[in-house]
Amino acid sequence: MPATIEDLVCWKCGADISALPLPLSRFSECKSCHAPLHVCRLCEFYDTAYAKHCREPIAEEVKDKARANFCDYFRAKPGAWKAPDTTAAGKAQSDLEALFGLKPDSGAGSPSTADAARSELDKLFGADKK
């Protein structure tokens, strides 16, 4: 079933692109992030599990899947945008904080990280001011 205008969003930022006429031309771009829209990443045939990332067996290979192209098999796909997965980055940040004993700022009244680090260095090297 072909995509309807109401279902289409930008492959790069997720912005609504329903105001653009279908079929998308090679020069169509997202009004929000200015990404080209006639790209493999927005096509219903785009699939990383297939050779050349395309399920259309006779389409010419496009090297840059995020760049506008002239593919005659292009059909815009609803739901091409995937929200970035930030769980790995959040876990890595938490692990670093635990490893180095850092805590996110708890608000006013707590010494800054730089002040705390300076204080620890002064204690370590015996430069406490008396």
Q: Model's pTM, two decimal places?
A: 0.61
pLDDT at 129 > cutoff 80: no
pLDDT at 107 > cutoff 60: no
- Cβ 39 vs Cβ 75: under 8 Å: no
43 vs 36: CA distance, rounded Å: 12
- Phi, psi torsion values for 43, nearest 5 degrees: -90, 145
Average pLDDT score over the chain:
82
The pLDDT of residue 33: 92
Annotate 37-50 with three-state secondary structure.
CCCHHHECCECCCC
The pLDDT of residue 1: 46
Number of domains in the chain: 2
| Pair (72, 98) in one structural domain | no
Residue 111 falls inside a structural domain: yes
* Parent domain of 19: 1-81
Residue 129 falls inside a structural domain: no
Average pLDDT over residues 94-114: 68
Average pLDDT over residues 96-120: 70
Residue 66 falls inside a structural domain: yes
